[in-house]
């Protein structure tokens, strides 16, 4: 039975990020006290930057990430790790360099994989998620076109990790960071909607007025491939953490 994601509205992006960081921190420490690992699915982009800063702060206050295993959602295809816009760089700069996660527990799709190896690589990424026990909590942002990960408008609900073409809106939004649209990679590796829906819990962050319209659509009953975030209506435990600006169009 489809159900709308829950949503929580906070006065500021910082407050929303702190709330999600607190939830993640509790999960990590509870699991540690049980001698268990926790598997987090992570996103990049401007939205989760404050979340990662807050997780780094929690680490400075004593929270260990030694029992944490992470899988990132996506990576541009054709970018090596050391490219300044690679998600590998982003994740290390924003989070991994500031916490005590064992480097071997970090998984980020490799944008340098040659075409002929991609199918096997994507299957291996899925297998690694399963072998880690599945994703306990998946962090998502949302594109202005409704994408989650790089599952662009038109995405099928039943795909695992795969190679995808970026949508024009996504390329436009990335153009500035790459010094022009022509430099933005056209393809990416992304977890599929199936991978995302298999996570035990999903937390979507959305901030700012530019996300208000798509947040309204994602939180309106009705699932359509044209707005991949509406697939979250198929998930039994998803919550949108919004700031006031992103919530302005909610009834």
Written as six digits, the tokens of 88 are 């590998």
Query: Could you confirm whether 98 is annotated as catalytic?
Result: no
Question: Which lies closer to ligand F6R via its Cβ, residue 44 or residue 233?
Answer: 44
Residues 5-24 that bind ligand F6R (CB under 6 A): none
Residues 104-143 that bind ligand F6R (CB under 6 A): 141-143
Least separation in angstroms between residue 139's CB and ligand F6R is 9
Residues found in the chain: 251
Question: Which lies closer to ligand F6R via its Cβ, residue 63 or residue 110?
Answer: 110
CA distance 72 to 87: 9
Asked if 172 touches ligand F6R (CB under 6 A), the answer is no
First-to-last CA distance in the chain?
23
Residues that contact ligand F6R, how many (by CB under 6 A) = 14
Tally of CA atoms within 13 A in the half-sphere of 28 that contains its CB? 22
Query: Could you confirm whether 167 is annotated as catalytic?
Result: no
Residues 148-167 that bind ligand F6R (CB under 6 A): 148-150
Written as six digits, the tokens of 40 are 């987090």
Question: Which lies closer to ligand F6R via its Cβ, residue 23 or residue 85?
Answer: 85
Q: Which one of the spans 19-27, 43-51, 111-119, 240-248 is the region binding ligand F6R (CB under 6 A)?
A: 43-51
Query: Could you confirm whether 100 is annotated as catalytic?
Result: no
Letters for 52-81 (x = contact with ligand F6R by CB under 6 A, - = none) are: ---------------------xx-------
Does residue 132 come out as left (phi exceeding 0), alpha (psi in the -120 to 50 range) or beta? Answer: alpha
Question: Which lies closer to ligand F6R via its Cβ, residue 38 or residue 215?
Answer: 215
According to CB under 6 A, which one of 7, 50, 147, 162 is a site residue for ligand F6R?
147
User: Of 152, 173, 198, 243, which residue is the catalytic one?
Assistant: 152
Question: Is the CB of residue 233 less than 8 Å from the CB of residue 223?
Answer: yes
CA distance 175 to 181: 4
According to CB under 6 A, which one of 47, 164, 167, 233 is a site residue for ligand F6R?
47
Written as six digits, the tokens of 237 are 């435990």
- Do the bridges between strand 201-206 and strand 137-140 make them parallel or antiparallel, or are there none, so unpaired? parallel
Query: Could you confirm whether 67 is annotated as catalytic?
Result: no
User: Of 59, 67, 72, 74, which residue is the catalytic one?
Assistant: 74
Written as six digits, the tokens of 144 are 């202005």
Question: Nearest Cα to 153, choosing from 191, 193, 186?
Answer: 193
DSSP helix, strand, coil percent of the chain (3-state; round to 5): 40, 20, 40
Residues that bind ligand F6R (CB under 6 A): 43-47, 73-74, 141-143, 147-150
Tell me which residues are annotated as active site. 74, 145, 147, 152
């Amino acid at each position: 039975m489809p159900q709308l994601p829950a949503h929580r509205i906070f006065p500021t992006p910082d407050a929303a990020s702190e709330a999600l960081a607190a939830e993640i921190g509790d999960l990590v420490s509870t699991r540690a006290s049980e001698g268990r690992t926790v598997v987090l699915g992570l996103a990049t982009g401007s939205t989760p930057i404050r979340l990662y800063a807050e997780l780094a702060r929690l680490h400075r206050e004593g929270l260990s990430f030694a029992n944490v295993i992470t899988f990132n959602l996506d990576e541009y295809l054709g970018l090596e790790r050391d490219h300044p816009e690679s998600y590998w760089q982003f994740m290390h700069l924003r989070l991994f360099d500031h916490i005590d996660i064992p480097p071997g527990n970090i998984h980020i799709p490799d944008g340098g994989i040659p075409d002929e190896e991609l199918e096997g690589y994507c299957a291996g990424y899925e297998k690694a998620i399963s072998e880690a026990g599945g994703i306990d909590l998946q962090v998502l942002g949302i594109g202005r076109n409704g994408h989650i990960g790089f599952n662009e408008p038109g995405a099928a609900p039943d795909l695992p990790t795969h190679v995808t073409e970026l949508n024009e809106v996504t390329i436009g939004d990335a153009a500035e960071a790459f010094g022009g649209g022509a430099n933005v990679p056209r393809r990416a590796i992304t977890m599929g909607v199936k991978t995302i829906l298999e996570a035990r819990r999903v937390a979507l962050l959305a901030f700012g007025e530019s996300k208000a319209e798509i947040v309204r659509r994602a939180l309106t009953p009705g699932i359509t491939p044209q707005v991949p975030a509406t697939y979250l209506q198929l998930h039994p435990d998803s919550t949108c953490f919004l700031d006031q600006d992103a919530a302005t169009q909610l009834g």
